[in-house]
Chain A
Amino acid sequence: MSERLGQERHIPTMRKFDTKVQHLKYKVLREVARHTWDGTLLEHIIDIPKQIFPGPRPTMRCCIYKERAVAAERVKMAMGGDADNPNVIEVINIACDECPVGGYEVTNACRGCLAHRCEDVCKKGALSFDENHVAHIDKSKCVECGACAKVCPFTAIVHRTRPCQNACKVKAISMNEDRSAKIDNDKCTACGACVYQCPFGAITDKSYITSVINLLKSEKNRVYAVVAPSISSQFAYAKLGQVITGLKNLGFHTVVEAALGADMVALKESRELVEKGFLTSSCCPAFVKYIESAYPKMKEHVSHNLSPMAEISRYIKESDPGAKAVFIGPCTAKKAEALKENVSQYVDAVLTFEELQALFDSRGMDITTLEEGVLDNASYYGRIFARSGGLTDAVAQALKEQGLDGEFTVIPEVCDGIDECRIALLKASRGVLKANFIEGMACTGGCINGAGCLTHGEKNKAEVDKYGREAYEKDITSAVSVLK
């Protein structure tokens, strides 16, 4: 314990994250991980909430008992969550603040003016005025069109939506009768936007951190860490090479770039594109799930390639039978992808960068003191898959390297975020999209803004491009030539 506290002084842990919600989640993961290493989890499981909230005063909720009760739910999520719920994203009901979901509301900025533009513009007759001429909206008549809010000269009419519902662009979140948030598992893409946006940390992703530790603890296992290229913008307080050494010190046999899988995918996907003439990418599992649930007729156009994560893990398992593969990345949807039948045979578990931070600290490891290891398997093009537009650049490059760019011209539609994906899919499903390749990324900016990132920021794209340029192999063919 004293060792850990000493380390927190060295690098304030809060600095490693964007939000206090992430920090709290991390503390639970770290304690669960520590007890899993020690083999003492079951006997200490009920102590963890008290350890995190020693009391007697509450630090973030109404009382310490509620804080501890929520922490106990987080412990459960850290241990894999509700096994009966197929979704990797779950709501912690007691943590949900049941935020107002009033829709359009008149605020006290209403001056009781004479113009009553709100009333004039409302086609449903939902606006009325009290004796002070202040506007009121009749909820039974309001259809949430927003016209009144647009015309109010005082901007006194606001639209109240919950942060989770606001974050969920695929509209998978609604409200239970008790007003807690509810996820429609059929619509949910597991992108994790709500996980990152809920200010109470009431929606969270299931963790497989205990499974990973158990894999690492068994000496007979050769556990490969497959890391996503977006790692280049994470762990900014240390050097990437130190993260690699840290992974090996945790017991991983070796570290391999998922970006090498991306190089493999770029070659295959470009050939598939030439063959079929129209294709949507299959790298982003949230985008694929969105097509399946919202545009099922477009399913036949989804590339049949495995994702970079699954592709490289398959290679690892073929070249080293008996090996285990753990993907470490920015993505909560990868946790769902890894449970799919055609992927689970290759990928044993998925961790986020948040969880990797907890894993390092559960061993009291200060990675800034470690020697720098090396990580260099993929090309520039495989690495830039981590940001919006990178996959398209890689497919165009792959066509060129294979001499296919003469017979086929790729006309890409780069969709940065799920809103742009929806527009492109809508157009494509009606045959009016002027493109033959849709690159779909559920997170705005691409994987570098995934929900499982430690930090999210503008500079991340530049970091990934820089990391791409540092690759030893400059083209895709060279990077994959060693694999054949």
Chain B
Amino acid sequence: MKIVVCIGSSCHLKGSRQVVERLRELIEKYSVGDKVELGGTFCIGECQKGVCVTVDDVFHSVTPENVDGFFAEEVIAKLK
């Protein structure tokens, strides 16, 4: 599974670093580092909806506040 977080200017100002840092912690916590690849990109083209994240090319709008819920629903649930 490939998670790509937009680290472009707009998403950066909306907290993409915090999202990336939390995702790293969650990947570690759930020991899914071998199944999940985390990457960055500079623009997904949906700047209004940032922080933009794609999971296997499916778009999601994430915030630093809801990243835990996003990870549970879109990552952990789908890995099972």
Contacts and interface: CB of A to CB of B under 8 A. Distances in A.
B5 A254 contact: no
User: Which of B5, B9, B41 counts the most A-chain CB atoms under 10 A from its CB?
Assistant: B9
B9 A376 contact: yes
Interface of A: 224, 244, 253-257, 316, 319-320, 373-377, 472-473, 478, 481-483
B40 to A, nearest CB: 6
6 closest Cβ pairs, A-B complex: A254-B43, A482-B7, A374-B9, A376-B9, A254-B42, A482-B20
Contact of A481 (B17, B41, B42, B43): B17
Contact of A483 (B8, B13, B21, B40): B40
Contacts of B9: 244, 255-257, 373-377
Most chain B Cβ neighbours within 10 Å, of A256, A316, A374, A473: A374
Interface string B35-56: 0000111110000000000000
B17 A374 contact: no
Contacts of A473: 17
A481 B20 contact: yes
A255 B21 CA distance: 23
10 contacts: A244-B9, A254-B8, A256-B8, A376-B13, A377-B7, A377-B8, A377-B9, A472-B12, A472-B13, A473-B17
B10 interface: yes
A320 B5 CA distance: 13
A361 B39 CA distance: 37
A319 B41 CA distance: 6
Given A319-B42, A377-B8, A473-B17, 17 more contacts: A254-B42, A254-B43, A257-B9, A316-B42, A319-B40, A373-B10, A375-B9, A376-B12, A377-B9, A377-B12, A472-B12, A472-B13, A478-B17, A482-B17, A482-B20, A483-B7, A483-B40
A28 B36 CA distance: 52
B41 to A, nearest CB: 6
